[in-house]
Structure 1
Amino acid sequence: MRTGLRITAYAAAVAAAFTAAYGVGTSVDSVSTPAAHSERNEHGERNEHGGKGHEDTGSGTGTTSTPAGLASTSHGYTLDLRTPRAKAGTRTDLRFTITEESSGAPLKTYAKEHGKELHLILASRDLTTYRHLHPVRAADGTWSVPATLPEAGDHRVFADFRPARAEEKVTLGADLAVTGAYAPDDLPPARATAKAGDGYEVRLTGTPAPGEPRELTLRVLRDGKPVTDLQPYLGAYGHLVALRAGDLAYLHVHPNGEPGDGSTKPGPAVSFTTTAPSAGAYRLFLDFRHEGKVRTAAFTVRTPHAH
């Protein structure tokens, strides 16, 4: 079955999606992520990528225009980050709970989305560092995951989850300070090609239209040749996270089509139908899996004001 993009509950008023790249150039961009990681998480446990659901995560209810991830409390839940500080270049065990406001107790029951109970996105405020992590939950409801962040500065952590028996997903955000010598980087320029290490590159094409759905296509190549055997990662051939420059409003989208639907090919192209929530600059992070490793390609895109 072909599935169109089902977006993070980003709010009905903003059409809840992200747009294609506007005015991109032709040079190469990169992002500070691990160049590739195997299908075992940082605890040495194997990541299971089950499920075909392609609903996206978010904290919108359809009754507010507030983008997801800007608040640490929403929908009756609070992200309590127990390790609000880390040291640049040093492995840190990030610990946190999702607390139920009604009882003050940690949430212990979750519905799995894309094979996981919770997805943790971590990004620097200048959008040059990005991590997509899968923490482990202890019996008392405390989540933990190791991470090593390369540069000092302000970071943002996003917890992306759906409580058991809840119909809506929730995205909560909290600030993480990384200590050390700090000089913020400028937002990388808008470019149409991004490297992902080991000869991989991703080419971005698409025409933006704020307030109007348009198709965005990301084409994966290795050593200049199209990759036609992408492997499913969390139930899809590609996952796209977009963060708005300035406030890091969060948007998680999934591709048009899914593995096994009879029409979606395993590369080289992965397409998304997208609409901009607002004009401005965004940073896109595409995760894809090939030969057992997950890689990330990053792009800066700019959307124009609606005419």
Structure 2
Amino acid sequence: MRNHSGHDQADHEGHGGAQPGGLSVSEHGYTLEFDSTILTAGVQPVSFRVIGPDGQAVTEFLSEHDRELHFIAVRRDTAGFQHVHPVMDEKGTWSVELALEPGDWRFFTDIHPVGHDGTMTLGIDVAVAGPYDPRPLPEATGIAHIGEYTVALDGELLPGEPSELTLTVSRNGRPVADLQPYLAAYGHLVALRVGDLGYLHVHPEGEPGDGATAPGPGIAFMAVAPTAGTYRLYLDFQHNDVVRTAEFTVRTATAAPKHAERHHGHHAHH
């Protein structure tokens, strides 16, 4: 599994290491700064900047998976998930439209500033004014329905151990074998830890055009949960020129994977 920067997932604390990303508004001298963190409900533009160690808005970022910045918005009760891509002006101000319901939200930015070694995920709390009716956490299930599409989740999420998750897409009961590339991949998976919204952003094994990765129906991910607990998974995939999102609630398993047990025994022998 590789993250935006191309490094192994375990090499970056926000992508499967000891700590998930997005829990801090500032990291390595870079700070997320919004024009306002109190917003009104409805579809509206939001604007923000990434302030660098020199106190100025950063204007140069490396492109990761076809974009210089990936933006995730989700309400604290895990509803309203949106993965969008803002546009930056010449002064370093990013703008994007979001559809916001009343409640407490968390906004995340995946970035790789020029001059910094690797990607980072910054997060900030935003309040959307209005009557707030929190939604209960959806039940854990291995099936998600999005209109005429169904996505099946196979595999278990393990705390501190790599595990393979395969998400299989079908439409009206028939496997979808012609998924379209979206941001240089056949699928994008975001995992958020329920309770603090600790953030992991992972990508599938292989990539379009590599001669080995099929365009569906299955999309395989190698994921690591930093801790035991409950996670919300959001899969973005594109078919017939439309990007859709499948959502899952997943609880980590307690048993170590068989390959890890063999690996441990091998070292004990030596």
Asked if these proteins are the same fold (TM beyond 0.5), I'd say yes
What CA distance in whole angstroms lies between the structure 2 residues aligned with 1:100 and 1:209? Answer: 35
1:134 maps to 2:134: no
Aligned-pair CA distance for 1:126:
0.5
CA contact under 8 A between 1:56 and 1:252: conserved in structure 2?
no
What CA distance in whole angstroms lies between the structure 1 residues aligned with 2:204 and 2:78? Answer: 22
- CA spacing shift, 1:231–1:56, aligned 2, 3 Å: farther
1:108 match: secondary structure: coil
Aligned-pair CA distance for 1:69:
0.3
- CA spacing shift, 1:240–1:172, aligned 2, 3 Å: same
1:288 maps to 2:206: no
Structure 1 match to 2:113: 163
- CA spacing shift, 1:61–1:243, aligned 2, 3 Å: closer
- CA spacing shift, 1:305–1:57, aligned 2, 3 Å: closer
How many residue pairs get aligned? The number is 255
* Residue of structure 2 aligned with 1:111, choices 62, 71, 92: 62
CA contact under 8 A between 2:156 and 2:253: conserved in structure 1?
no
Structure 2 match to 1:181: 131
Structure 1 match to 2:227: 278
Structure 1 match to 2:264: none
- CA spacing shift, 1:59–1:141, aligned 2, 3 Å: farther
CA contact under 8 A between 1:208 and 1:303: conserved in structure 2?
yes
Structure 2 match to 1:6: 2
User: Does 1 or 2 have the higher relative contact order (CA < 8 Å, sep 6+)?
Assistant: 1
CA contact under 8 A between 1:192 and 1:205: conserved in structure 2?
yes
What CA distance in whole angstroms lies between the structure 1 residues aligned with 2:19 and 2:103? Answer: 25
2:112 match: secondary structure: strand
What CA distance in whole angstroms lies between the structure 2 residues aligned with 1:57 and 1:80? Answer: 28
* Residue of structure 2 aligned with 1:259, choices 183, 195, 208: 208
What CA distance in whole angstroms lies between the structure 2 residues aligned with 1:8 and 1:183? Answer: 35
Question: 5+ residue gaps in structure 2?
Answer: 257-270
1:70 maps to 2:23: yes
CA contact under 8 A between 1:58 and 1:251: conserved in structure 2?
no
What CA distance in whole angstroms lies between the structure 2 residues aligned with 1:206 and 1:196? Answer: 20
CA contact under 8 A between 2:156 and 2:252: conserved in structure 1?
no
For residues 180-199 of structure 1, what are the structure 2 equivalents within 5 Å? Answer: 180-197=130-147, 199=148
Aligned-pair CA distance for 1:208:
3.4
- CA spacing shift, 1:169–1:292, aligned 2, 3 Å: same
What CA distance in whole angstroms lies between the structure 1 residues aligned with 2:14 and 2:82? Answer: 26
CA contact under 8 A between 1:8 and 1:58: conserved in structure 2?
no
Question: TM-score normalised to the size of structure 2?
Answer: 0.88
Residues 209-232 of structure 1 show CA distances to partners (whole Å, capped at 9, x for unaligned) of: 322222110000111111000000
2:13 match: secondary structure: coil
Aligned-pair CA distance for 1:292:
0.8
Residues 262-299 of structure 1 show CA distances to partners (whole Å, capped at 9, x for unaligned) of: 11100000011122211111000000011111110000
Question: TM-score normalised to the size of structure 1?
Answer: 0.78
- CA spacing shift, 1:184–1:68, aligned 2, 3 Å: same
1:163 match: secondary structure: coil
Question: 5+ residue gaps in structure 1?
Answer: 10-52
Structure 1 match to 2:169: 220
CA contact under 8 A between 2:158 and 2:254: conserved in structure 1?
no
Aligned-pair CA distance for 1:81:
1.4
* Residue of structure 1 aligned with 2:45, choices 93, 97, 100: 93
What CA distance in whole angstroms lies between the structure 2 residues aligned with 1:271 and 1:277? Answer: 19
Aligned-pair CA distance for 1:67:
2.2
1:121 maps to 2:67: no
Structure 2 match to 1:300: 249
Residues 191-224 of structure 1 show CA distances to partners (whole Å, capped at 9, x for unaligned) of: 1111122x01101111333222221100001111
- CA spacing shift, 1:243–1:61, aligned 2, 3 Å: closer
Root mean square deviation, CA, Å: 2.2
* Residue of structure 2 aligned with 1:148, choices 89, 96, 99: 99
